[in-house]
Amino acid sequence: MNNEKPMLLITTIEDGEPSFHMIPTTLDCAFSVVRYVPKLNLLVVESKTKITKLEQIPKIDSIGNLKKTAKHKENGRPFEEERRNMDQFIKHMLLNKEEQISFIKQFASNEKEFDYLNFFSEEVQKEKSKSKIIMP
């Protein structure tokens, strides 16, 4: 990887709220996308690295419909399931605000021009958490 920062900050909407994403600007960037989730104050880093995990997935018949069971199973699902190896991209969740800012500074090429700190603002977070009462 070259010495330039491989990602670009962009403005977007996440769960109906203003937010930002970081998108790769080089093919050799280790991450596919980085998303800030304002409702959770969480930075989600999605890697290009895959891992294989066993997952419970529904069984389907030859035309793509779920195979139903005769009775509900302990987990409450009314269809048959099977364990399969699934390739998944590794996700990292950054909870700490200082770690989030450090990550952005390390990887975003436009971190000085982009006002991402506004999304972390305490006033903005407090305003979001206030309940809005509509009076007639």
pLDDT tens digits for range 75-114? 788 888 899 999 999 999 999 999 999 999 999 999 999 9
DSSP lists the bridge partners of residue 44 as 35, 93
Instruction: Identify the pLDDT of residue 131.
Output: 47
Residues of the chain with pLDDT under 70: 1-3, 121-136
Q: Does 88 reside within a domain?
A: yes
Say how many domains are in the chain.
1
- Is residue 132 assigned to a domain? no
Tell me the backbone φ, ψ of residue 33, rounded to 5 degrees: -165, 150
DSSP state of 72: -
Q: Is residue 67 included in any domain, yes or no?
A: yes
Give the pLDDT score at 94.
96
To 5 degrees, how large is the angle CA 90–CA 21–CA 105? 85
At residue 101, the pLDDT reads: 95
135 within domain boundaries: no
In this predicted structure, what is the pLDDT of residue 51? 94
Whether residue 131 is contained in a domain is answered as no
Owning domain of residue 58: 7-121
Is there a domain that residue 21 lies in? yes
Q: Rounded to two decimals, what is the model's pTM? A: 0.71
pLDDT at residue 75, rounded to an integer: 78
